[in-house]
Homo-oligomer: A and B are copies of this chain.
Amino acid sequence: MASTKLYCFAQSGNAYKAALMLALTKSDWEPVFVDFFNGETRGDAYRATVNEMGEVPVLVEADEKLSQTGVILPYLAEQTGKFWPADAKARREVMRWIMFDNHKFTSYLATYRFLHAFAKSDPPVVAFLLARVKAAIAIVEKHLGTQPFIAGNEPTIADISMCGYLFYPKEEFGFDIAAENPNIAAWLDRIRALPGWVHPYELMPGHPLK
């Protein structure tokens, strides 16, 4: 039994951020399937015993129970010494993009994808979110024209955070992010080439076609 457990499910790009970090650092871990689509994260039991915030992922080790990938990723980076610059100023730049990811990039993209692909509701809401998604994507596309990875020349947890939703099939978004954004496409190829990279639908349990 692995000493590290990750509460997750295949369709969650937020869970994928933590799972991918564990995979890329060759950590000893095992997934705990969370039945999001049947309401597990919205239930009292999950909120009382796993995460009061009602979200995945949650990382559990002997004396740690952490949620929020913006906390889990720096924690794993500290533990492993990987995907994390040594310098405090460089770490602030990494964290600045992780904050942007949580605040503007993943936040709109994940909610948009959920409504578009899984909930199929509210056309004006989907259109509103799509406009926000495209504005955030444009900032990242421009930024990646200047350097190969989000925070410079080497991959960091900022890349692992920001790519969280970008390997899912384009049908789930209704448009092709990589085809429309060549700098993002080239960056995703660089991440895909990292030793130990695995697609989210292979890495986490619960995909309906598995």
Closest CB-CB distance, A189 to chain B, in whole Å? 23
Copies of this chain, tallied across the complex: 2
A52 x B103 contact (CB < 8 A):
no
Residue in contact with A92 in the complex, picked from B54, B66, B96, B99, CB distance below 8 Å: B66
Stretch at the interface among A1-9, A67-75, A162-170: A67-75
Q: How far is the CA of A74 from the CA of B89 in the complex (A)?
A: 12
Chain B residues, Cβ within 8 Å of A25: none
Contact residues of A: prevailing secondary structure? helix
**A 73-122 contacts with B by CB, 8 A:** 74-75, 89, 92, 95-96, 98-100, 102-104, 107, 122
Q: Contact between B107 and A103 (Cβ–Cβ < 8 Å)? A: yes
At the interface, yes or no: A193 with Cβ under 8 Å from chain B? Answer: no
Do A99 and B70 form a contact, CB below 8 Å, given A53-B104, A75-B92? yes
Contact yes or no, A52 B99, CB < 8 A:
no
Interchain CB contact under 8 A, B103 and A68: yes
The reply on A142 being an interface residue by CB < 8 A is: yes
Decide if A124 is an interface residue (CB 8 Å cutoff).
yes
6 residue pairs, one from A and one from B, having the closest CB atoms: A68-B99, A70-B99, A125-B128, A102-B103, A124-B124, A68-B96
CB<8 Å pairs between A and B, sample of 18: A53-B100, A53-B139, A54-B139, A64-B92, A66-B96, A67-B96, A68-B95, A70-B70, A70-B98, A70-B99, A71-B96, A71-B99, A74-B95, A99-B102, A102-B103, A107-B107, A122-B124, A125-B128
